Structure 1
Amino acid sequence: MTETAALSLTAILAVVLGVTATALSEWARIPAIVPLLLAGMALGPWGAGWVDPALLGQGLPVVVGLSIAIILFEGGLNLDIPTLRALQASIGRLLTLGAVLTWVGGALAARALLGFAWSSAFLFGSLVIVTGPTVILPLLARVPLQPRLHRILESEGVLIAPIGALAAVFTHDLFFAGGSALGGPTHLLGRLAVGVIMGGVVGGVLVFLARRGLAGSEETQVLVFLAGALAAYGFSQALLHGSGLVAATLAGIVVGNGNIPRVAELKRFKGQLSVLVIGVLFVLLAATLDPEEIRGLGWRGLGVVAILLLAVRPLAIFLCTAGSGLGLREKLFLSWVAPRGIIAASMASLFAMELRATGVREAGAIEGLVYLTIAISVVVQGITARPLSKLLKVSAGRTGVVIIGANALGRLLGRVLQESGREVGLIDSNEWLCARAREEGLAAMAGNALDAATLERVGTPGAGALVAVTANPAVNALACQMAREEFRVAERVALLTREGKGVDRESLARIGARPAFAGPLDAGRWSARIEAGECRLIAIAMDAAGEEIGSLAFPDNAIPLALRRGSQVVIATAGERIQAGDQLSVLVAGELPAGAIPGSVVEEREAGV
């Protein structure tokens, strides 16, 4: 076989195996890294010999760098800055103190159990700092957690990746590339500064182009952002080697929080591209791994991994979350969940190739120990995370609410539900309305409410209710149907309009949905009233136990919005039967006629923000 044919076979097999292994992992409900790792090792030079990454030559580090840049840009897109602000103390300590503890703890364990030289030990410690979005985000998708825990793990997974990469480059330069102890920290800060500046500039330019409509059509805009992600990485690397991953991550965060049009389509494309990139990259990297390097670590290698997972991680979590308000159960769960992924693997493989070329004896052992850490952490924690979350009672019940329609009525309902402690996410095709929702403290995503990927990203798989309040009753009904058939959402509520448009109470009943509020109404008119400041929200202690909300004669200027029953707040629906002690939140435009609603007023406030 010619070298060109062999290179073509390697590239094709990497794509085929990456996609096949990923699809298999979804079908078998196992972490994707497991079949990817096995496939790469089985068909690599140490196995069947069909996949040979060495044929890529100096192109392999380039492919790895660009691939990780795409992965980190996609991770940054999904990070919410208000969430980071709310958790800044805990996240900040995890990214600094937690990283240092993992670095030092990993080094000491490798030195003590495996006899690594200090240089090799500290390089290993730096490589296992990273958890990474490629393993954390799929795990969070399978394990519903309390919102605060979910956000801490998600934010740590995305932000620790470039920091861990910087630490690894710093350690390599200090011990293996002739760097100085004094110059090392200076270079580290320089890389961080260059990455932050370049990522901020490129991200800002992309946001400007999208807002001004200069990024082209939907399809072209996605490609412009892909080029921007690679540009942020490439330009930053050209200015100062090692700064590119910081730039790619920050550019993603800027774009994701830039209130740009069609951001949902961008996130969906980047997510699909990241899945492909991860699959191909992991197959290529696993093919470079010599299985004997892992076997040679023996029980001492397992001991190093055990120390990392059972001692170093818990110590870091308990120190970094001190004073955060997290309870013991939450801290124990965070202590257990820290799987390593593709970022650690790629850095380990690249350094191992370089160190082998310079004659470093422990190069293969460092790589093997990193991969052993990845395999054990992903498999063990991936299998045990869900049952452990239930045992520690930190899993989230399906109490979240997805609201279709970010009009003023939908936003008001969202605020009422969120104030009661329920997790709320809104979807609307209008980016401006979504921006308004975010300004009011609500999570909102611009996109097509009838697109399964959009519904999934806003949290529908873990939601207990979906409420559709757009001005189009057909869209409302279809959204409820999708929530039932694709996501098994228990409570489905749709707004009916007076025009009907072929959707009525009976047609909703056929798809297992209920009409919102007391009956048909004009969503646009009520939203305009709320925007104009004409409405008040009145809480009424009801005297109509046993009556259905829809049977009460509400005046034309009042609609029932939500029902408080004990500590719970639910959406008011026409068929909901009032119980003793219930409080009904009624939206009123103007004055409420005396005695119009049976009960006594408990609270009254403006319906605006």
Structure 2
Amino acid sequence: MTDTIIATIAAIGVVGGACQWLAWRLRLPAILFLLLTGILAGPVGGWLKPDILLGDLLFPFVSLAVSVILFEGSLTLKFSDIRGIETVVRRFVTTGALVTWGIVTVATQWITGISWGLSTLFGAVMVVTGPTVIVPMLRTVRPTMHIANVLRWEGIIIDPIGALLAVLVYEFLISSGTGGGALGATLTVFVRLILVGSMTGIGVGYLVGEALRRDWLPHYMFNVATLAAVMGAFALSNALAHESGLLAVTVMGIYLANRKGVPVEEILSFKESLSLLLITALFILLAARLDLDLLLGLGWSAVQIFVVVQFLARPLNVLWSTRASSLSWRERGLLAWIAPRGIVAAAVIALFSLQLEQKGYADAVLLVPLTFVVIIGTVVLQSLTAGPLARLLKVAEPGSGGFLIVGANPLARAIAQALSQNAVAVRLTDMLWDNVSRARMAGLQTYYGNPLSEHAEVYLNTAGLGRVLAMTADEHLNELACTRFKGDFGPKRVYALRVGAREKGRKAVSLAGLEAFGDGVNFVELSRRLARGAEIRRTNISEAFSFEQFRANYGERAVPLFAIDPKGRVEVFASETEVQPKAGWVVLALVDADPDEYKRPPAKADATA
């Protein structure tokens, strides 16, 4: 028996990993393949039975896993990101949620005929969206920053609110079945949930923030201590007020994200592998519990519910929440289309439907298949159509000439500053905090972490960027980065700088990207030149001073890096491409100091001209 359980758990990990890889290769949400796997393994094949596999541990595991996922998401919510659209976000998660709740509740009761109580519970769960689906979708759709920020904030904050509403409806149904006073009992539960969840989240967040800011913990314990604090806050809040834990961990994450001095970047990365594993396991396990006979028995009723959620409830929610806002009608149109449901909806409805079924609510079994129809329908439809719709509405980020620079070393910072000073969007990414810190002090946009990680897949902001320049001292990382971003930007928009000079007599190793800055140019040599006082200089090309004259004037003292045409378009000097700057163009080149200047103190590594 033990060997069977171990084999089943291992199989979930292996097959789930294969689903994640396939989703990455096809640039589709992983939830599609995870749900299909769970359905095939569970109700179709009968190989996976989560209730037997985990027994009484199933729903505690689901709840803890969801809490970790929500905490990670809330750590990215900074109030500065929604400056100017705070009112829109606030409406989405308050009165807008009530709009969705009311419409779905009425439609569910009218279409399916189940009781008003169960319809109200289903409507409460349907107010949530799916942050685990929305954020990867945003990377593919690449909408404007306003749309991306609204959807990200809504997706993360609305999840605990939806769970809270579901708890209130559940308490009302249970109280109604035991006598009078149901409304008063529900209001009492509501106040207790808000107070306990908020206070617990802020209290534990304050203690964690103090521990991280004041170095009460060694650096290697940051990750473990934060994870323990998240689980502790979730368990404590639930113990004080049943089902308030999700609100507590969300409040805790938002508090830490917006508190000054807390090294959020260092604790963000600790859960990327864990969160990926949890999401993978959750979708497979919950899909495996689906009853296909019930799903097929719903027939067109389930499809009609999906149509109401997608084409009526969401547009009316957006219409109400964005009234009198600065958002254009095009932006509102895309917001009205994107609202996929995800893991929280599946987890919450599975928990409460089971409990209500045990208490005599026979129709509660219908809530799970209804929820999965909405999840699958919204994810499939929106993931396939959101991108073309964003381009049709002209609210997708244009194919930009901005650069994602892999590496934030002195050479990368100098190049980033030169590009930035010429109105070219730049973002640097590095795994060394010292490099990232120096880049930020220089006023450059950064991402701290591994650009190849699952966390970067979700949180690395590439808005306004259209090309990649890999220039670290790690040849292998450069290769992997080029391979990773070819799918996003295209093979002819990915560049890599060789680390060292080619060895004589040895065949050159081909790069995954175009060879940046020309044949023979390498990272080590450029870094040495920069340290000896070389500067990145801007030179205007004209009829009186052609590019050929530039070459003759500087000779080997200059390495041309970029050429900018009169319309602001940037060309990269590379071995595989021939750039011929003409009159009106600008050339950015790394130019050595004059020989008699070598005795002077070295210029700062970040200097540009």
Counterpart residue identity of residue 73, structure 2: G
How many equivalent pairs are there? 573
Counterpart residue identity of residue 551, structure 2: S
- In 2 relative to 1, CA 44–209 (structure 1 residues): closer, same or farther, beyond 3 Å? same
> Partner of 1:338: helix, strand, or coil?
coil
User: Residue 144 of structure 1 is aligned with which of 142, 145, 148?
Assistant: 142
Counterpart residue identity of residue 135, structure 2: L
Counterpart residue identity of residue 32, structure 2: V
User: Residue 124 of structure 2 is aligned with which of 126, 137, 143?
Assistant: 126
The whole-number CA distance in structure 1 between the counterparts of 2:109 and 2:166 is 17
Counterpart residue identity of residue 121, structure 1: S
* Bigger mean CA deviation after superposition, 458-467 or 327-336: 458-467
How far does residue 249 in structure 1 lie from its aligned partner after superposition? 2.5
1:465 matched to which residue of 2? 467
2:158 matched to which residue of 1? 160
- In 2 relative to 1, CA 94–410 (structure 1 residues): closer, same or farther, beyond 3 Å? farther
1:444 matched to which residue of 2? 446
1:112 matched to which residue of 2? 110
Q: Deviations over 1:502-529 (max 9, x none)?
A: 489xx99976344499x957656889x9
How far does residue 347 in structure 1 lie from its aligned partner after superposition? 0.5
Q: Deviations over 1:408-447 (max 9, x none)?
A: 9866875786688765422244536645655787542223
- In 2 relative to 1, CA 458–12 (structure 1 residues): closer, same or farther, beyond 3 Å? closer
User: Residue 59 of structure 2 is aligned with which of 39, 58, 61?
Assistant: 61
* Bigger mean CA deviation after superposition, 127-136 or 542-551: 542-551
The whole-number CA distance in structure 1 between the counterparts of 2:145 and 2:509 is 31
How far does residue 587 in structure 1 lie from its aligned partner after superposition? 12
2:204 matched to which residue of 1? 202
- In 2 relative to 1, CA 211–274 (structure 1 residues): closer, same or farther, beyond 3 Å? same
> Partner of 1:296: helix, strand, or coil?
helix
Give ranges in structure 2 of 5+ residues lacking alignment. 592-606
- In 2 relative to 1, CA 508–44 (structure 1 residues): closer, same or farther, beyond 3 Å? closer
> Partner of 1:425: helix, strand, or coil?
strand
Counterpart residue identity of residue 251, structure 1: M
Kindly indicate whether the alpha-carbon contact (under 8 Å) linking 1:418 and 1:424 is maintained by their aligned counterparts in 2: yes
Kindly indicate whether the alpha-carbon contact (under 8 Å) linking 2:42 and 2:288 is maintained by their aligned counterparts in 1: yes
1:595 matched to which residue of 2? none
2:310 matched to which residue of 1? 309
The whole-number CA distance in structure 2 between the counterparts of 1:168 and 1:210 is 35
- In 2 relative to 1, CA 143–419 (structure 1 residues): closer, same or farther, beyond 3 Å? farther
How far does residue 467 in structure 1 lie from its aligned partner after superposition? 4.6
* Bigger mean CA deviation after superposition, 309-318 or 568-577: 568-577
Kindly indicate whether the alpha-carbon contact (under 8 Å) linking 1:469 and 1:523 is maintained by their aligned counterparts in 2: no
The whole-number CA distance in structure 1 between the counterparts of 2:144 and 2:422 is 15
1:273 matched to which residue of 2? 274
Kindly indicate whether the alpha-carbon contact (under 8 Å) linking 1:491 and 1:513 is maintained by their aligned counterparts in 2: no
Give ranges in structure 1 of 5+ residues lacking alignment. 530-534, 589-606
* Bigger mean CA deviation after superposition, 202-211 or 412-421: 412-421
User: Residue 71 of structure 1 is aligned with which of 50, 69, 72?
Assistant: 69
Does residue 547 (structure 1) correspond to residue 547 (structure 2)? The answer is yes
1:596 matched to which residue of 2? none
How far does residue 104 in structure 1 lie from its aligned partner after superposition? 1.0
> Partner of 1:394: helix, strand, or coil?
coil
Kindly indicate whether the alpha-carbon contact (under 8 Å) linking 1:108 and 1:121 is maintained by their aligned counterparts in 2: yes
1:298 matched to which residue of 2? 299
Kindly indicate whether the alpha-carbon contact (under 8 Å) linking 1:405 and 1:426 is maintained by their aligned counterparts in 2: yes
How far does residue 139 in structure 1 lie from its aligned partner after superposition? 2.1
- In 2 relative to 1, CA 550–126 (structure 1 residues): closer, same or farther, beyond 3 Å? farther
Q: Give the TM-score normalised by structure 1.
A: 0.78
Kindly indicate whether the alpha-carbon contact (under 8 Å) linking 1:31 and 1:382 is maintained by their aligned counterparts in 2: yes
> Partner of 2:224: helix, strand, or coil?
helix
Kindly indicate whether the alpha-carbon contact (under 8 Å) linking 2:470 and 2:496 is maintained by their aligned counterparts in 1: yes
The whole-number CA distance in structure 2 between the counterparts of 1:159 and 1:134 is 13
Does residue 226 (structure 1) correspond to residue 227 (structure 2)? The answer is yes
Kindly indicate whether the alpha-carbon contact (under 8 Å) linking 1:549 and 1:573 is maintained by their aligned counterparts in 2: no
How far does residue 213 in structure 1 lie from its aligned partner after superposition? 4.8
The whole-number CA distance in structure 2 between the counterparts of 1:439 and 1:372 is 49
> Partner of 2:485: helix, strand, or coil?
coil
How far does residue 105 in structure 1 lie from its aligned partner after superposition? 1.3
- In 2 relative to 1, CA 509–524 (structure 1 residues): closer, same or farther, beyond 3 Å? farther
1:378 matched to which residue of 2? 379
Kindly indicate whether the alpha-carbon contact (under 8 Å) linking 1:211 and 1:260 is maintained by their aligned counterparts in 2: yes
> Partner of 2:127: helix, strand, or coil?
coil
Counterpart residue identity of residue 349, structure 1: A
The whole-number CA distance in structure 1 between the counterparts of 2:549 and 2:188 is 67
The whole-number CA distance in structure 2 between the counterparts of 1:454 and 1:355 is 37
The whole-number CA distance in structure 1 between the counterparts of 2:201 and 2:550 is 54
Counterpart residue identity of residue 108, structure 2: A
Kindly indicate whether the alpha-carbon contact (under 8 Å) linking 1:540 and 1:583 is maintained by their aligned counterparts in 2: yes
Kindly indicate whether the alpha-carbon contact (under 8 Å) linking 2:406 and 2:429 is maintained by their aligned counterparts in 1: yes
> Partner of 1:325: helix, strand, or coil?
coil
2:403 matched to which residue of 1? 401
How far does residue 191 in structure 1 lie from its aligned partner after superposition? 2.5
The whole-number CA distance in structure 2 between the counterparts of 1:469 and 1:44 is 47
- Show the 5 A alignment for 1:209-608: 209-216=211-218, 218=220, 220-255=221-256, 263=265, 266-399=267-400, 400-404=402-406, 406=408, 423-431=425-433, 434-435=436-437, 443-447=445-449, 458-459=460-461, 463-467=465-469, 474=473, 481-488=479-486, 490-491=492-493, 502=501, 512-515=514-517, 520=526, 523=530, 546-547=546-547, 551=551, 565-566=565-566, 568=568, 570=570, 577-582=580-585
- In 2 relative to 1, CA 137–454 (structure 1 residues): closer, same or farther, beyond 3 Å? closer
The whole-number CA distance in structure 1 between the counterparts of 2:209 and 2:99 is 37
- In 2 relative to 1, CA 491–292 (structure 1 residues): closer, same or farther, beyond 3 Å? closer
How far does residue 354 in structure 1 lie from its aligned partner after superposition? 0.3
* Bigger mean CA deviation after superposition, 336-345 or 389-398: 389-398
The whole-number CA distance in structure 1 between the counterparts of 2:289 and 2:168 is 24
The whole-number CA distance in structure 2 between the counterparts of 1:543 and 1:286 is 68
Counterpart residue identity of residue 568, structure 1: G
- Show the 5 A alignment for 1:180-191: 180-182=182-184, 184-185=186-187, 187-191=189-193
The whole-number CA distance in structure 1 between the counterparts of 2:531 and 2:318 is 48
The whole-number CA distance in structure 2 between the counterparts of 1:82 and 1:254 is 13
How far does residue 103 in structure 1 lie from its aligned partner after superposition? 0.9
How far does residue 23 in structure 1 lie from its aligned partner after superposition? 4.2
> Partner of 1:487: helix, strand, or coil?
helix
- In 2 relative to 1, CA 22–454 (structure 1 residues): closer, same or farther, beyond 3 Å? closer
| Identity among equivalent pairs (%) | 32
Counterpart residue identity of residue 273, structure 2: Q
Kindly indicate whether the alpha-carbon contact (under 8 Å) linking 1:460 and 1:487 is maintained by their aligned counterparts in 2: no
